[in-house]
Chain A
Amino acid sequence: MDEEVAVATHAMRMAGDTCVVDLSGEIDMLSADTVEKWLYDAGRGSGAAAVVADLSAVDFLDSSGVRSLLRAKEALDGDGIAFRVIKPNAMVERILHILGLYDMLT
């Protein structure tokens, strides 16, 4: 049962003027701050007009993880860069719905 610890990882690619960040693993208390920085840096460093977080490989998102997405969005919005998430799995989608944040983040 003690499998390898699933930490979050990421990769970035440009699609037009949008920077897509492929997140994977678990976005929780341990990885939240790092994820927030990845997303913010993706917007800042790439000169993109929008940042999209692809959550298709994210297995788990807890309240700290949600906060990291919200904070990244707030920071990017402040710089005039649009932010949204795409392709959450069923569980992550459910969490975003429960929190009433699905529309805001997608």
Chain B
Amino acid sequence: MSSEISTATSQDAVLAEILALPAPHGTGRSVQNFAADVLDAVVRRTGRSASAVVDRDDGRGTAVLATAGADRGKTSTALRVPLDLVAPWSGYLMLTTDGTHVDLIGALAAQRISTALEYERLRGADLRRQAWMSYLVEVGNLLAHSLDTTLTEALIPRLIVPRLAPWCVLYIHDDPSVRIAAAAHVDEAMVVNMLSDQHFFGVRLQADDIRAAVRESAGPAVFDGPPALMIPLRSHGQRIGALLLGRHGTAEPETVSIAEEVGRRAATALDNARVHAERQHVARTLQEALLPAEPSQIEGVGIGAAYLPAGWQTQVGGDMYDIIPLPEGGCLAVLGDVAGKGVQAAAVTGIVRVVLRLLIADGKPVTQIFQQLNDLILSQSQRYCTMAVAEIRPARSGDLSAIVYLAGHEQPLVVRRDGAVATAGNWGTALGVRAHVHCVPETVLLHPGDTLVMFTDGITERRAGKEFYGPDRVSRCAAQLAAHTADVIADGLVTAVLDFSDDAPQDDITVVALRNDGRAAADASIL
């Protein structure tokens, strides 16, 4: 039923006009205006109306993009031309005609509008992807610098709210239990409710089905009361926990995949923090095994020990000390320093400590113990060990005698109660270097109030720029602490050495102070 309408523009002219319309890409013109121009041209041919309808998958359903003309005639034929769009976008042109054939014009109009829409879709997706990429990079950077488990847990939901979800809960799977580690909400005040077992929100977040999903779900899961999306967290195949993200309406596939990406980064960060915490624990346990379980109580001897390992928390140092009570009164105070740091040094330190205790229990003289340790270290290790031993025994008139044995170690200081300071002991050979250990013991008397201060080279070699703390500063500092108890002297010296520089210590710092806490015989006789 074709009939020509003379007033209508010819088909070729309309086709040419539609083809000539400049595409809106990069011109700043909207797709709507462009579509309106295309439909105007169509209507010039049909004399009736045309509209373009599109669903951009933005949650608003189908919407009219543009219209042109108006239905005036009674006899009209409707023609529906689908737009060539990529799912989930869809749309069509609705053309009413008076019967004129407009298939070709409709197809061309649909094609031009489709192309413009497709460009808009890709451009939008590109911009969103760029925004998501920079968001993920930001998330990755923030998490990469977080090594503390508690802080990492607290950080994760705050990276998600409000960017990805209005609220978020981080569940941690501590087999078999599931706990809420952290929560965030766009409305800060709501966080209290989320963590409350009184408030319905909190109760719901602790519900059995959610906990079960944290334990079991393998992929993203959707919940309805309240609407939420769960992203399981895994690292190295281990179930670490899950993120629960609040949502408005349906979860968009894009949000889900971004949430999964954030989840992957969060799981890695949690795993790293956990490994770091384990390393700290191992270092601390190992270190504690190298130190006396509890400060011994030796009658008449005040004992102060201060120890500061280098390599904050995860490193094990090579310093060790021990206080071994002697059966006939007094004690052996041992301070050792194995060259180097780390597990290898600590292993040598551990051997030295155990063998030392055994040999001392056997009642061997210290010089012989040095020789045996020397042979052991020579055969077992490339490292050498320096050691200072003070054999403290009660002497006459309330004095203590201190026999100082040195094997490659700094000389201890005798700090008199009046502040006079002198070195004690003769330098001897470090253990594990030569076949024969040269050691000449020296005896000093500690009068009541006098203190013997032993320390490792972490004290003298502490540096600020090019300057070393050095033996002279140690002496001056010890002199100022003379009137104090043994533990104050030990702590005071370590504090002064630490304050010498802003840098973290490069080596273990250990001080053992032994003070004659007895009263002079003369004082006792007066009473």
Chain A residues at the B interface, C-beta cutoff of 8 Å: 1-3, 6, 29, 59-60, 62-64, 66-67, 70-71, 91, 94, 97-101, 104
Interface string of B429-465 (1 = CB under 8 A from A): 1100110001000000000000000000100010011
Chain B residues near A97 (CB-CB < 8 A): 427
The answer to whether B382 and A100 touch across the interface, beta carbons within 8 angstroms, is no
B384, B430, B465: the one contacting A1 at CB < 8 Å is B465
The answer to whether A70 and B433 touch across the interface, beta carbons within 8 angstroms, is yes
Q: How far apart are the CA atoms of A20 and B10 in the complex, in Å?
A: 102
The answer to whether A3 and B408 touch across the interface, beta carbons within 8 angstroms, is no
Q: How far apart are the CA atoms of A44 and B444 in the complex, in Å?
A: 49
Interface string of B129-142 (1 = CB under 8 A from A): 00000000000000
Q: Which residues B395-434 have CB closer than 8 A to chain A?
A: 407-411, 427-430, 433-434
The answer to whether B427 and A98 touch across the interface, beta carbons within 8 angstroms, is yes
The answer to whether B339 and A67 touch across the interface, beta carbons within 8 angstroms, is yes
- B247: min CB distance to chain A, Å: 51
- B386, CB-defined interface residue at 8 Å: yes
Known interface pairs A67-B383, A99-B430, A99-B433; A1-B464 also in contact (CB < 8 Å): yes
Chain A residues near B461 (CB-CB < 8 A): 60, 62
The answer to whether A3 and B386 touch across the interface, beta carbons within 8 angstroms, is no
Chain A residues near B430 (CB-CB < 8 A): 99-101
- B468, CB-defined interface residue at 8 Å: yes
A-B contacts, 17 of them at CB < 8 A, read: A62-B461, A63-B384, A63-B386, A64-B339, A67-B340, A67-B383, A70-B384, A71-B382, A98-B408, A98-B409, A99-B386, A100-B407, A100-B428, A101-B408, A101-B429, A101-B433, A104-B434
The answer to whether A63 and B382 touch across the interface, beta carbons within 8 angstroms, is no
Chain A residues near B466 (CB-CB < 8 A): 3, 6, 59
Identify the closest chain A residue to B385 (Cβ). A63
The answer to whether B408 and A99 touch across the interface, beta carbons within 8 angstroms, is yes
Q: How far apart are the CA atoms of A99 and B387 in the complex, in Å?
A: 10
Chain B residues near A94 (CB-CB < 8 A): 471
Chain B residues near A1 (CB-CB < 8 A): 464-465, 502
- B386: min CB distance to chain A, Å: 7
The answer to whether B340 and A63 touch across the interface, beta carbons within 8 angstroms, is yes
- What are the 6 A-B residue pairs with the smallest beta carbon separation, nearest first? A100-B429, A63-B339, A99-B408, A1-B465, A99-B430, A100-B428
B contacts with A, residue count (CB < 8 A):
28
Q: How far apart are the CA atoms of A100 and B433 in the complex, in Å?
A: 10
Q: Which residues B246-276 have CB closer than 8 A to chain A?
A: none
Chain B residues at the A interface, C-beta cutoff of 8 Å: 337, 339-340, 382-384, 386, 407-411, 427-430, 433-434, 438, 457, 461, 464-466, 468, 471, 502, 507
Identify the closest chain A residue to B407 (Cβ). A100
- B333: min CB distance to chain A, Å: 19
Q: How far apart are the CA atoms of A67 and B383 in the complex, in Å?
A: 8
- B491: min CB distance to chain A, Å: 25
- B273: min CB distance to chain A, Å: 28
- B317: min CB distance to chain A, Å: 12
- B414: min CB distance to chain A, Å: 17
- A4: min CB distance to chain B, Å: 11
The answer to whether A91 and B427 touch across the interface, beta carbons within 8 angstroms, is no
Known interface pairs A63-B340, A66-B339; A100-B465 also in contact (CB < 8 Å): no
Identify the closest chain B residue to A104 (Cβ). B434
- B90: min CB distance to chain A, Å: 64
Q: How far apart are the CA atoms of A71 and B381 in the complex, in Å?
A: 12
Q: How far apart are the CA atoms of A82 and B337 in the complex, in Å?
A: 29
A29, A98, A101, A104: the one contacting B410 at CB < 8 Å is A98
- B474: min CB distance to chain A, Å: 13
- A78: min CB distance to chain B, Å: 15
Chain A residues near B337 (CB-CB < 8 A): 63
Contacts A98-B386, A99-B386, A99-B427 known; 12 new A-B pairs at CB < 8 A: A6-B466, A59-B466, A62-B507, A63-B457, A64-B339, A64-B340, A67-B339, A67-B382, A70-B384, A71-B382, A98-B409, A104-B433
Q: How far apart are the CA atoms of A100 and B428 in the complex, in Å?
A: 5
Identify the closest chain A residue to B429 (Cβ). A100
Identify the closest chain B residue to A67 (Cβ). B339
Chain B residues near A59 (CB-CB < 8 A): 466
The answer to whether B468 and A91 touch across the interface, beta carbons within 8 angstroms, is yes
The answer to whether A100 and B339 touch across the interface, beta carbons within 8 angstroms, is no
Known interface pairs A101-B433, A104-B434; A3-B465 also in contact (CB < 8 Å): yes
Q: How far apart are the CA atoms of A98 and B438 in the complex, in Å?
A: 12
Chain B residues near A100 (CB-CB < 8 A): 407-408, 427-430, 433, 438
Identify the closest chain A residue to B465 (Cβ). A1
Q: How far apart are the CA atoms of A63 and B507 in the complex, in Å?
A: 10
- B481: min CB distance to chain A, Å: 23
Identify the closest chain A residue to B466 (Cβ). A3
Q: How far apart are the CA atoms of A91 and B502 in the complex, in Å?
A: 23
Q: How far apart are the CA atoms of A50 and B347 in the complex, in Å?
A: 36
Chain A residues near B411 (CB-CB < 8 A): 98
Chain A residues near B383 (CB-CB < 8 A): 67
Chain A residues near B507 (CB-CB < 8 A): 62
- B373: min CB distance to chain A, Å: 14
Chain A residues near B382 (CB-CB < 8 A): 67, 71
Q: How far apart are the CA atoms of A91 and B386 in the complex, in Å?
A: 18
